[in-house]
Chain A
Amino acid sequence: DSGVTQTPKHLITATGQRVTLRCSPRSGDLSVYWYQQSLDQGLQFLIQYYNGEERAKGNILERFSAQQFPDLHSELNLSSLELGDSALYFCASSVGTQGRLGETQYFGPGTRLLVL
């Protein structure tokens, strides 16, 4: 158990819909990272928040947005869903930022999203 929790574990929805994925980081961790894992793209970094502020952005679509709240939990909002958005979405947390030497990121169990 990494200490990172994600809800829901599974999500089935239809194209065009909007969903919200939730993540609670490990106690004491200030950074939250969101990743998308699909069979054809592998694990792709989406976005990072550090202590409530956006710190780094990866391959995140404009239809996707995220935020980190004062209690440090984070939500990833996916809208106008398409079939290709079906994937595993992971949240990870770390004490600080990625930095030069690479922080240890602790991954949650993921949310499996299926768009029909």
Chain B
Amino acid sequence: TQLLEQSPQFLSIQEGENLTVYCNSSSVFSSLQWYRQEPGEGPVLLVTVVTGGEVKKLKRLTFQFGDARKDSSLHITAAQPGDTGLYLCAGSNDYKLSFGAGTTVTVRA
């Protein structure tokens, strides 16, 4: 059983569309991170959110940490083929990172 549940599991959209990926848990986390992983490579950190209610923007990507620090979302505006990859959320507690199962995003040109 995953500590962090991500939805949807798969997402396929056309270039230029928007998408949102969700990460939910019954546990409270000190911080939450989002990673992107491309085939044959390790995950790469996109952002860390720490404060409940925090919103961070990274170009076309917007990350939100829930008020209760149990959930998070990642929104991509005007998706591009280069956004294709596996998006992983990870919660930090007790000196450990717990990862969600990931959302596979495919952006079609």
Which residues of chain A have a CB within 8 Å of any CB of chain B?
2, 4, 33, 42-45, 48, 55-56, 58, 90, 92, 97-102, 104-110
A50 to chain B, nearest CB (A): 9
Q: Which of A2, A100, A109 contacts B30 (CB 8 A)?
A: A100
Q: Do B43 and A107 have beta carbons less than 8 Å apart?
A: yes
A91 to chain B, nearest CB (A): 8
- How many A-B residue contacts, CB cutoff 8 Å? 67
Residues in chain B near residue A97, CB distance under 8 A:
95
Interface readout for B19-36 with A: 1 if CB under 8 Å, 0 if not? 000000000001111000
Q: Is B80 an interface residue (CB 8 A)?
A: no
Q: Is B78 an interface residue (CB 8 A)?
A: no
Which residues of chain B have a CB within 8 Å of any CB of chain A?
2, 30-33, 40-45, 48, 50, 88, 90, 92, 94-102
| Complex CA–CA separation, A92 to B102 (angstroms) | 18
Residues in chain A near residue B48, CB distance under 8 A:
101-102, 104
Residues in chain B near residue A106, CB distance under 8 A:
45
Interface hub of B45, B90, B94, B95 (most chain A Cβ within 10 A): B95
Q: Do B42 and A100 have beta carbons less than 8 Å apart?
A: no
